[in-house]
Amino acid sequence: MLRKKECVAMLLAGGQGSRLYALTSNIAKPAVSFGAKYRIIDFPLSNCINSGIDTVGVLTQYQPLVLNEYVGNGQPWDLDRTFGGVHILSPYEAKKDTSWYKGTANAIYQNIRFMKMYDPEYVLILSGDHIYKMDYDKMLAAHKEAGAACTIACMQVPLAEASRFGILNTNPDGTIYEFEEKPKQPKSDLASMGIYIFTASKLFEYLERDEKDPNSEKDFGKNVLPAMLNAGEKMYSYRFEGYWKDVGTITSLLEANMDLLGTVPNFELRDNDRVIHSRSPLAPPAYVTGSVSNSLIANGCDVEGSVINSVIGTDCVIEKGAVVEDSVLMGNIVVKAGAKVNYSIIDEDVTIGAKSVVGAAKTEASKVVGKTSGITVLGRGISVRDGGKVAAGEIVDKDI
């Protein structure tokens, strides 16, 4: 029997995420913890299954161990399918041209055979470092209706920030006449979200063409999309109105976590229609006593100290007299008695010794000039000794 999938998703999860510093020393960016019990990749994977797409290739390259184990057979997202489902696609050895993924386009090119196994009409390209909820099915419907070769999801950004993004210059009917990657003088405020739907035959054609071009950097934004435009292919923009955040930097990662707080948060996770699935850990419910205000607390926590304006991940222990404020604790962290954690991001498996001081109050710390704008970062698995001190804005990746 000939079987096919209408749309196959390819998730680019190979990025190093170097602007997350210690948080990505040993794991790929999509595997970074987010929102107390999620990892970043939960968002695109959940969006896929919630949009009816059940075939997803996850392209990994940089430090894939945690990511591979996390994705596993895809069961937490209902992506364990007999035909389709989620597949980890690492660079592989071939008879000729064995190589690492050399760019976003080359990574997809190297997996053309994977996509062709499902004989798809359309291919959805996603990146693994954005926090958002989106119905890709609506975007696909728009792509089909427009009869486009490629549809690019975009959203309005403040014009002042537009030069950080790929910018789409569009006609009133939504067709794109120009694509500029990080322009110094942006002509529009429509930023590409790095989400593309291609008509599969067009994608394969242009990937093969790009692969033969020795001058190409093998990048979608820089090479493939401009090439398609130049060849006169129909490129269409799809406006997304909703929460979307690139969590590629320490400040944006902290902000995105804080966007979950409040009775009416900027980004709502409690949504029965579009549940964000994750590999929910088997911890008992959180035990909470002491004072907790405006915070998220995941299962398995034991909170006897104070927690204010913070996101506390699974299995964290906040002992009596400890204070955590304006911070993100990713998971399995012990904050011992009398310790103070302020305006910090603490990676998994960290122990913070009694009476130690990590970071400084947000009002003070945010004046600090540096790579993280005053946010203190503790890397995975480290310990801070009793009475230890980590100054605001420091990035620490070994015991202190």
Partner 1 sequence: MASTVGVIFTSINDDHVPELTKVRSKGSIPFGGRYRVVDFVLSNMVNSGITTVGMLTKNNYQSLMDHLGSGKEWDLARKEGGLILLPPYSDESEILYRDRLEALKGAMAFLKKAKEDFVVVADSDAVYKLDYSKIVDAHAANNADITMVYHEHDCYDSVSYLTFDTDGDKIKSADVNIKSRGVNKHYINVFVARTSYLLSLLHTAISRGLTSFSKDIILPAIKTGRVYGYRLDGYYTDIDSLQSYYKSNMDMLDKKIRQEIFGGRDVYTKINDAPPAKITETAKVSNSLLHDGCLIEGTVENCILFRNVKVGKGAHIKNCIIMSENVIGENCNLSYVVSDKDSSVSSGVTLAGCEKMPYFINKGTRI
278 lies in the site for partner 1, by CB under 8 A: yes
Judged by CB under 8 A, the stretch of 1-9, 159-167, 208-216, 269-277 that binds partner 1 is 269-277
Q: How far is CA 353 from the centre of its chain?
A: 31
75 lies in the site for partner 1, by CB under 8 A: yes
Evaluate whether 278 touches 70 at the Cβ level (below 8 Å): no
Among 104, 192, 216, 295, binds partner 1 (CB under 8 A): 295
Both structure tokens of 316: 């964290």
Backbone angles phi, psi at 20, to 5 degrees: -100, 0
Measured distance CA(292)–CA(322) in Å, rounded:
12
286 lies in the site for partner 1, by CB under 8 A: yes
Measured distance CA(228)–CA(151) in Å, rounded:
12
Q: How far is the CB of 316 from partner 1 (least distance, A)?
A: 11
270 lies in the site for partner 1, by CB under 8 A: yes
Both structure tokens of 367: 């004046």
Among 35, 44, 91, 305, binds partner 1 (CB under 8 A): 35
- Between strands 190-199 and 244-246, the pairing is unpaired
Cβ contacts of 348 within 8 Å, gap of 6 or more: 33, 313, 330, 331, 332, 333, 380, 381
Among 86, 123, 126, 296, binds partner 1 (CB under 8 A): 296
Which is closer to partner 1, CB of 146 or CB of 261?
261
Among 311, 335, 358, 377, binds partner 1 (CB under 8 A): 311
290 lies in the site for partner 1, by CB under 8 A: yes
Which is closer to partner 1, CB of 85 or CB of 226?
85
Q: How far is the CB of 252 from partner 1 (least distance, A)?
A: 20
Both structure tokens of 189: 């405020």
266 lies in the site for partner 1, by CB under 8 A: no
Measured distance CA(380)–CA(317) in Å, rounded:
16
Evaluate whether 296 touches 35 at the Cβ level (below 8 Å): yes
- β-partners of residue 38 are 34
292 lies in the site for partner 1, by CB under 8 A: yes
298 lies in the site for partner 1, by CB under 8 A: yes
The site string for partner 1 over 206-245 (x = CB under 8 A, - otherwise) reads ----------------------------------------
Both structure tokens of 396: 């620490």
Give contact residues for partner 1 (rule: CB under 8 A): 35-37, 75-76, 260-263, 269-270, 275-278, 280, 282-299, 302, 311-313
